[in-house]
Amino acid sequence: MSKDEKLDYPAEFVAAVAAEWPPPNDKVIPGRLAEGDPKIGALLAQASEDPFTPQEVVKFLEAGQGADLLSQAQRRIRLGKLFEQWLKIVQPSTPSPRRSRRRAR
């Protein structure tokens, strides 16, 4: 795929990705999806793999915000699944790099 190539995202994928970004980004992400911007994949990968530091976990728990920590972790899982879907859209017959990496361990 070239840098300038646009993708035709399925409606379900567009809705799921757009739902993950609340305002003010809700105006940016749907536009990128509508334009078929392939950089959506990088955005999903980065957002899903951004780890919590031990300091962040402690801060959440000490503040009694365990539910918020859980919610953010669940969101990252959803974003990871969306990234997997994006990979299938981009290269439908190529196995996911994440899956290949897991098998190699």
pLDDT string in tens for the chain (105-residue length): 555 688 999 999 999 998 898 767 677 888 889 899 999 999 999 989 988 999 999 999 999 999 999 999 999 999 999 999 999 999 876 555 555 444 444
The maximal CA–CA distance of the chain, rounded, in angstroms, is: 47
At 17, list the tokens.
């990705």
For 101, the 3-state DSSP assignment is helix
Position 94 scores a pLDDT of 53
DSSP string, 17-83: HHHT--TTGGGHHHHHHHTT-TTHHHHHHHHHH-PPPHHHHHHHHHTT-HHHHHHHHHHHHHHHHHH
pTM of the full structure: 0.77
What pLDDT digit, counting tens, does each position of 48-64 carry?
A: 998 899 999 999 999 99
